[in-house]
Structure 1
Amino acid sequence: MNIVSHKMGILSIDREGYIYYYSKKRRRKMAEIGYEKKLAPGEVLFREGDPGDEMYLIKKGEIKITKRIGDQEKVLAVLKEGDFFGEMAIIDGSPRSASAIAATETELVIVDREAFLKQIRENPFIEYVLETLIKRLRETDELLKYMFIKNEERRIATYLLNTSRSGEKIDVNKIGNILGIEDSKVKEVISKLVRNNLLSLEGNVVKVKDEKLLQEYIEYISLKEKFEK
């Protein structure tokens, strides 16, 4: 994992999107306002999708951060002594974006939402910067999961389904840029899904006609990939 100088206490982000900005002094402060918890190897601290009202400082041991991508569990990072995590969920109130599992015997310092936010509010500028960064990281995190889907047709269909479920409008001209796929391939897949009555296309706006059927189609592509290797 490529952590950028987080031990120095500057505001930085590693390549997996985890924020580090607390100096050693502030990490000591966290230990003062939090309480300790021990985890056995393999013990789950939280799951992706769980509500988040605590953040964690690793006093000893290692924590694996994992995320469900399609039908696989991917390890995004392994955090070690001195690292902290879980701050994104307690700042913006969103569910956990990944799971955290003890890789070894681990000791944590746990800081609850109110205690953490009190520390952040002591510096309004840092509070603003963190909120802005986390908003951007959430958006990046949402797009990152599509990049693990190698099959372009399944990647497009999954994006269409998730975006439809969120209630957002889908502009056919933006899909290729968002997913890193050639526009010609996007139009080919969209046309195929329209012919199969899974989508409708009104101007540049794509609408999912039946989310359940589209989900079944995505599962069909996954099975096809699995058995045609």
Structure 2
Amino acid sequence: MINMSAEELLTFFKEHNICESLTIGEVEKLTHYLLEKSYEDGEVISDAGEIGDFLAYVIEGKVKLTSNDGQDTTEVGKQSEGTLVGEMSFFDRKPRNLRLTAGKKGVKCLLLTRPMYDRLKVEEPFIAVNILENAIVSLDNLVRHMGDDISALGHYMHGFGKH
């Protein structure tokens, strides 16, 4: 269960374009499948190499995405309030490439675990489809931003400077 009311969650979803077609009644049902969890500064949310057993909506704070090559740890990105994290490994069931840690001020997330998602698919398929569509949009945004970053890096490396 979560501490947010269905009305608060619906408002949050609308503010961040999440599961936009859900009604207040459907959001009320969804609250019974979610778990609210807080993480302190630097606390590991999910580690590289783990297979994702949950996906999470960031409702407060930031999640840092880091990579470790065995010697150095490099921050490769951040996800802030209103974003979805952990969806790739959750759906493809392959080990995570990155470590997810709480940002400096901590982070609060709404988790949807695999067992609860499996129940949701059977008991509330319309809600499950909305979550799946939201995950697709989230991954699409990730790929688009990655493409922009690669393009900018290539532009910079070939001597044209930043733009």
TM-score, reference length from structure 1: 0.41
Determine the C-alpha separation between the residues in 1 that align with 2:40 and 2:86.
Answer: 19
Unaligned runs of 5+ in 2: 1-7, 68-72
Unaligned runs of 5+ in 1: 155-220
Superposed CA deviations along residues 110-150 of structure 1, whole A, max 9, x for unmatched, are 44201122123323344445445534643552342131132
Superposed CA deviations along residues 178-200 of structure 1, whole A, max 9, x for unmatched, are xxxxxxxxxxxxxxxxxxxxxxx
Q: 1:122-141 to 2 correspondence within 5 Å?
A: 122-132=123-133, 134-135=135-136, 137-141=138-142
Of the two structures, which has the highest relative contact order with CA contacts closer than 8 Å and spacing of 6 or more?
A: 2
Determine the C-alpha separation between the residues in 2 that align with 1:137 and 1:56.
Answer: 12
In the alignment, residue 154 of structure 2 is paired with which amino acid?
Answer: E
Determine the C-alpha separation between the residues in 1 that align with 2:109 and 2:122.
Answer: 23
Deviation at 1:51, TM superposition (A): 2.0
Local SS of the residue matching 1:77: strand
Superposed CA deviations along residues 62-115 of structure 1, whole A, max 9, x for unmatched, are 3324366xx9634443238xx865455434435557653222345656442011
Q: Percent identity?
A: 16
Partner in structure 2 of residue 177 of structure 1: none
TM-score, reference length from structure 2: 0.52
Determine the C-alpha separation between the residues in 1 that align with 2:14 and 2:48.
Answer: 25
Partner in structure 1 of residue 62 of structure 2: 63
Which has the greater radius of gyration? 1
Determine the C-alpha separation between the residues in 2 that align with 1:63 and 1:26.
Answer: 27
Does residue 1:30 correspond to 2:33, yes or no? yes
Partner in structure 2 of residue 112 of structure 1: 113
Partner in structure 2 of residue 145 of structure 1: 146
Determine the C-alpha separation between the residues in 1 that align with 2:66 and 2:87.
Answer: 17
What is the aligned-residue RMSD (CA, Å)? 4.7
Deviation at 1:52, TM superposition (A): 0.9
